[in-house]
Structure 1
């Protein structure tokens, strides 16, 4: 049986996000290597928005969003894991260019 390709449309204020792949080890601003197994305080993570519901107002598909990884729900689609969350759970967005010209650039 051939594999079906389904289009996923997010509803209401929901976002479909894929976690940004980060390296296991990180470096602090001072150059200290922090291993992936190190216990840290609750840490926010970045993800890429792949889908947005019709009532999402401030986040667009293709932007990166900053959120708490303990809040969203996981879903598996064709062997890949994605996160589903509400727009209100997003703390910040990062896109190619901002119309307002304020904020930080990654």
Structure 2
């Protein structure tokens, strides 16, 4: 999944996972009741952030990592008809 956009500094671009269509018991969830996904895949990573000492701190994440993030984290963007989130690396809670 190549993206023709490069995030700056310590930002990453995440492709959110699809929202759940039905519950584990088989009940179909209507569009109005679906929750925003809090899981996704990293599709692009910035070069890193400069520390106060002037040293480039490389990002810990890499393209392809499956991650968990906050429900309202990031900014929604659309690239070539596909929706992504762009957020700071610090908004990511965990790598799966």
Please say whether Structure 1 and Structure 2 have the same fold, judged by a TM-score greater than 0.5: yes
Relative to structure 1, is the Cα distance of residues 91 and 63 closer, same or farther in structure 2, using a 3 angstrom cutoff? same
Q: In angstroms, what is the RMSD of aligned CA positions?
A: 2.6
Write the mapping of 1:5-20 to structure 2, written as runs, cut at 5 A: 7-20=4-17
**1:83 aligned partner:** 85
Deviations along 1:20-59, one digit per CA (max 9) or x if unpaired, are 12431121xxxx446535969x986110100001115221
- 1:93 and 2:86 correspond: no
Question: Runs ≥4 in structure 1, deviation > 4 angstroms?
Answer: 37-40
Supply the distance in 1 between the matched residues of 2:68 and 2:91 (Cα, whole angstroms). Answer: 9
Write the mapping of 1:19-98 to structure 2, written as runs, cut at 5 A: 19-27=16-24, 32-33=25-26, 35-37=28-30, 45-55=38-48, 56-94=58-96
**2:53 aligned partner:** none
What is the CA distance between 1:70 and its match in structure 2?
1.0
Structure 1 unaligned residues grouped into runs of 5+: 1-5, 95-106
Please, what TM-score do these two structures have when normalized by structure 2?
A: 0.71
Relative to structure 1, is the Cα distance of residues 24 and 85 closer, same or farther in structure 2, using a 3 angstrom cutoff? same
